[in-house]
Amino acid sequence: MSPSVQSEPTTMTHMAVIGESHRLHRWPVIPVVVLSILIMLAVFAPVIAPYDAKLGVLEDRHIPPMLFGGDSDHILGTDGLGRDIFSRIVHGAHISILTTAVALGIGGTVGTFLGILSGYFGGWVDELIMRIVDIKYSVPLILIALSMATILGSSIGLLFGLLAFMVWGQFARQVRAEVLSIVKMDYVVAARSSGASPARVMYHHILPGVAGTVAVIGSLQVGAVVLTESSLSFLGAGVPPPTPSWGSMVAEGRLYIDTAWWVSLIPGVFIALLVVSVTLLGDWIRDHWDPQFK
């Protein structure tokens, strides 16, 4: 048997291994693992947390993390009221992830729907929706939040509504810009010429074309939503204390940043993990769904 014939199976096996490695490399393994861990913390918080997240012991205030001179009873240290930071991180994962998901879900759905309508119909429909978006950006969110909190009182439901109001305009503008180019493509023109209804064209032809854009916008808005939640909670228009959330934990620790840095830094690290992981996952979804990146 010739050497070339003998080497052919080896070459094919080597190419298969390279192909499999390339496919694995393209999958967002690390972001999915990080997000899965954070979601597990949120779901099983009552089982995982060793202490009550809302109660503390003043004698145990500002115990540093175990790796920086603390003890094994509080592996991530305690805050200014002696509350266990690990327990608050675990319980805060539920609030922070739920708040982000609901706000982006509601705001993204409304903004995407209005953006598609605006780009598809144009004319007075486009003008009306875009002017509403302009008015929305002209009104400070903080002013609305404080006014609503004064009238209705702070609550999780109010926070959901405020954050959804914050993000929908960004979805509407970006999706509209994408739709303006998609409606000129041959497959959309052909669908409209064949007599397909506007609803069918928008749902079956335009929506899949903007799905990647929506995913990227959503991933980039995660950080803004989490930080806005922190600001609103600090001002009394967000998560009512003593319920923990990562954003409010960062705000609570700002007064001790020079002496008890871990109070703000540790929830800040978890916020960064959430934001970076969702951003990387959003980039992968864009590359996977958008034909221009294939």
Q: What are the C-alpha distances in Å from 24 to residues 27, 99, 192?
A: 5, 32, 40
Q: How far apart are CA 90 and CA 289, in angstroms?
A: 33
Structure tokens at 69: 């001179």
What is the widest separation between alpha-carbon atoms in the chain?
Answer: 88
In the beta sheet, which residues pair with residue 78?
84
Q: Name all domains of the chain by residue range, CATH numbers in brackets.
A: 30-293 (1.10.3720.10)
pLDDT for the residue numbered 18: 41
Per-residue pLDDT of the chain (294 residues; tens, 9 = 90+): 444 444 445 554 444 444 444 444 577 788 889 989 988 988 888 899 999 888 888 888 999 999 998 888 899 999 988 999 999 999 988 888 888 889 999 999 999 999 999 999 988 999 999 999 999 888 888 888 888 887 887 788 888 888 999 899 999 999 999 999 998 888 888 888 888 888 999 988 899 888 888 888 888 788 788 778 877 877 777 888 788 888 888 888 888 888 899 999 999 899 888 888 888 887 787 676 654 545
Among 87, 4, 90, smallest CA distance to 52 is for: 87
pTM: 0.76
Q: Look up residue 136 and give its two tokens.
A: 């929305």
8 A C-beta contact, residue 85 and residue 74: yes
Structure tokens at 38: 């954070």
Neighbours of 17 (CB within 10 A): 10
Buried b (16+ CB within 10 A) or exposed e, 64-76: bbeeeebeeebeb
Residue with tokens 């759905």, as numbered in its chain: 109
User: What is the chain's length?
Assistant: 294
For residue 22, the model assigns a pLDDT of 45
147 within 8 A of 194, measured Cβ to Cβ: no
Residues 6+ apart with CB under 8 A from 11: none
3-state DSSP assignment of residue 135:
helix
Q: How far is Cα 87 from Cα 41, in angstroms, rounded to an integer?
A: 10
pLDDT on residue 289: 61
Q: In the prediction, which pLDDT does 16 show?
A: 42
Q: Measure the CA–CA gap between 194 and 61, rounded to whole angstroms.
A: 71
pLDDT of 224: 81
Is residue 241 a contact partner of residue 160, using CB atoms and an 8 Å limit? no
